Structure 1
Amino acid sequence: MTPENVTGPVAVHAEAPVWWPGWGGLRWVDGDAGDLLTLRGDEIVRQHIDDEYLAFFRPRTSGGFVAVGARTLYLADGPDAEARPVATLLDDGPVRMNDGCCDPRGRLLAGSMSTDSTAGAGTVLRIDAALDVTTVLPRVTSSNGVSYSPDGRRVYYVDTDTGRIDVFDVSEGELRGRRVFAHIPEDDGVPDGLTVAADGSVWVALWGGSRVRGFEPSGAVREDIVLSVPQVSACTFGGDDLGTLFITTSAQGLRSDHGTAAGSVFAVRPGVHGLPVLPFAG
């Protein structure tokens, strides 16, 4: 199957796509620019958040959205409302926030990454509705994709520098029993963002590998979706039936004459359907 380019190269570092009907469908970030981009029909609406980096965001159960900058947590009260800083997540230093998600209890999981390749400098934080912060996973290097299984009993997780996808059991809301779900061969790129489908399959973007790889719930490879750009950053299911896989790509670090559509969002229908995004309770 051949993914369709649905936006053109409108971002430098497109990342963290989310489908949510409350803001009109597909929204993603241009991380280095600090922009939220929303696809509404044939128009792309941009909203800027004044931060050195915009990592990811999620809808709020009360309306609006939560966004995570390089070191700061933001809340907005409407889908297009101004995002206001409400908490500091990290001190200054060679670590910044990266990817994340919400758990079934409405708590935000937010990972961080080293910006100078220091092993184990990052963490995964959990932020609850009262904005209390707990470290749930210390000593990670490049925290990336994280997503829950359909029944909420497992969490799939990427620390990119490990070259693999791990899985945790969930017991009373806590992460337990970390183990390897799937290895990514070095020649295939490194794992980045991921999403889980309603049938339990796991779909991971392979940065440097020009593809999204789908895995069976057992960890066996189901299929590869190959793109025409090298740096595939993340993916999410969307559309009215959650049957379209939207894939973000990045031109970050590429030469100005790279001659590709990097920075575009692509779409493909892989024959499975996604899960509604879990919102933040705060």
Structure 2
Amino acid sequence: MTETTTAPPPAAEMWGLGGAHYDLVSFAIGDALAHAAQRLAPPPGARVLDVATGTGWTARNVARFGAHVDAVDFSPGMLDAARALSSHIKEITFAVADAQALPFETATFDGVISTFGVMFAPDHRQAAAELTRVCRPGGRLVLATWAPGGSVEEFFGVIGRHGDAAPPEPSPMLWGDPDHVDGLLGDAFELTFEQGTSHAYHETVAAIRDWYARGFGPVRAMAASLDPARRAVLWSDIDAFHDRYVTEAGLHVKRDYLITIGTRR
């Protein structure tokens, strides 16, 4: 495998803005990340690819099973954090790579996993073709993807209202629709689907806003692009979005997702 040395694309720079702080964003959805790793359940010694690893949370979960993990992401900033956070685990190798052009030979991996990562690749069919290509016959594929029409899509809509860019087409949230996923992967994999809801807990509305402001690249990028007055409106809208999750104990944020489980034909 050859790691790319070209400059990262703008989207990679955006997602990498949070650096190590993004790990707290992953921590908040840790139940969903664990769900995916447990459905993959690789045997000890298996070789697994984690696509769009971010700060390496899922790679570390998979390594718990005794698997050897190749973890890739298109953001060098994310990978710098992932290497630092995972330095105690010798079974993980990190490399810069695009989900749409994976730098591995065909049928290399016993298992392939992506948790809320590959769904953001612009070309759905090309990304699906690459997941298919690198998974050996009889190998296992597990994806965790946000549900269309759910709270995550609504949150991205809140952010997007403050910028000039059009929403991505096709929508990343289509990866949370079993029919769409079946159209992408059903010819190559025997598929099973499982619904899930991630539960996150924060002390206050201000606390979750601070997590996003520090660690979530799309929010950081949007905030940096706005003048102070418009930035204040962004924060106000984000706070209003999270007000609905306030309970007596603090915030309880719920996010619906889909787990796709596939066996390579």
Give yes or no for TM over 0.5: no
* TM-score normalised over the length of structure 1: 0.27
Instruction: Give the number of the structure whose residues are more often helix, by fraction.
Output: 2
Q: Taking CA–CA contacts closer than 8 Å with sequence separation of 6 or more, which of the two structures ends up with the larger relative contact order? A: 2
* TM-score normalised over the length of structure 2: 0.28
Q: Which has the larger radius of gyration?
A: 2
Instruction: Give the number of the structure whose residues are more often strand, by fraction.
Output: 1
